[in-house]
Amino acid sequence: MAYVIGSACVDIMDRSCMEECPVDCIYEGERKLYINPVECIDCGACETACPEQAIAVDRLADAAFRADNRRFFEEALPGRTAPLGTPGGAAGLGPVGVDTPLVSAVPGGVQ
């Protein structure tokens, strides 16, 4: 069971969670961060580090964002021809620069 980043991260992206993640499984979209469910080791360091309380364990996360988090890795994102899959670490990949359609549809500004 992985962790999921919810709506409180949209347009905030504090990145404290990224600094605490021991396996580098938190990826940066354009407006939100996403946790790779395959790479996550369920340690909870990200949840504790998030000042926005945007991170929850998968089974307790908002259903829309739980599905959306998986979609970020399993489906081709806008402007891309293939899914991200399991790149093996966010630092090596760098910012993805695009979000899922759900996050892109959230009105701009601080949530």
Give per-residue pLDDT as tens, 13-65: 999 999 999 999 999 999 999 999 999 999 999 999 999 999 998 778 788 99
Structure tokens, 16 = 């404290």
Domain-embedded: residue 108: no
Is residue 11 within 8 Å of residue 107, measured between CB atoms? no
Domain-embedded: residue 110: no
Domain-embedded: residue 96: no
pTM for the whole thing?
A: 0.93
Domain-embedded: residue 38: yes
* Domain residue limits at 81: 3-88
CA gyration radius, the chain: 12
Per the structure, how many domains does the chain have?
A: 1
Strand partners, 26: 35
Identify how many contiguous H helices and E strands the chain contains and give both numbers: 5, 4
Rounded-to-integer distance, Cα 17 and Cα 78, Å? 25
Domain-embedded: residue 26: yes
Give per-residue pLDDT as tens, 56-74: 987 787 889 999 999 999 9
